[in-house]
Amino acid sequence: MTFDPEYLLNRKFPTIRQTYNAKDCMLYALGVGMGIDPLDEDCLPFVYEDGLKVSPSQSVVLAHPGFWAKEEDINLDWVKVLHAGQEIIWHKPLPVSATVEATTRITEIADKGEKVGALIVSDRVVRDVETGDDLCTLVTTILARGNGGFGEERRSAPKTDVVPSTEPDETCDLPTVPQQALIYRLSGDFNPLHASPAIARNAGFKAPILHGLSTLGVMTHALMRSCCAYDPTRFKQMRLRFSSPVYPGETIRTEIWRNQGEEGKEIAFRCKSLEQDKIVINNGYLLID
């Protein structure tokens, strides 16, 4: 495919306006595996309207631009696109219902060579239309595996956070369910890689894989449980790298190192698929209040 990085860097994305409500928040929580245990009263407030809480990771689906990599004018080999990294900065706690808007922009494209692909970084700032407040900033990195080698000067990968080499202070194991990707996609990410067995096989996978952002949601649940007593308002900033895909139905172990940084409010983490015995999220950093 003919890929023009300058065109993509200058491409104008439409401003997306989205109105969401309590039902959407509950659907999102189900799509990241909350509510699997119907007797877990700590999870219940995320999937039940009485005293509803909003997971901080729901930020990633707000005013989402959709699967733009598949649009014809971009000329990406979209079947081979993978989510490589994510950063979230929370400016305000997420309301249970709101009308929000954001405009996606491509900020960086790095050629990692024909065998690896192109790293493409985008960001969007999600704003509450009624109050004018910025709710969160999302910085997303994708790896376009079929679009490297376009001739630009190669650049090193973005600097990543270091996970300690010591044993973690705590681990948290959370299951996913076989239909989790089919539930999660209803929150707005309709990449068929996560639903169609044929497309998944064409991309080199044995079955549809879980959205990286659904894995991120499971991990956020683990961090809320272990570090924040299920208080979503304590999340301030998070960064991570996706290192391997998860298949729906696998169990995700989040390894946690507490009290990093001068004030002890920084947490390092990574995640492993127990079934694959493989790291699936690495270089995790969380700042809490």
> Among all residues, which ones are annotated catalytic?
189, 194, 209, 212
The residues, ordered by sequence, that sit 6+ positions from 269 with a Cβ below 8 Å of its Cβ are 163, 219, 223, 240, 254, 255, 256, 257, 281, 284, 285, 286
Q: Are 46 and 38 in contact (CB under 8 A)?
A: no
The residues, ordered by sequence, that sit 6+ positions from 174 with a Cβ below 8 Å of its Cβ are 33, 218, 221, 222, 251, 252, 254
Taking the C-alpha atoms of residue 278 and residue 281, their distance in angstroms, rounded to an integer, is 9
Nearest to residue 59, comparing CAs of 209, 196, 236, 226? 236
User: Alpha carbon 183 to chain centroid distance?
Assistant: 15
Q: Are 103 and 15 in contact (CB under 8 A)?
A: yes
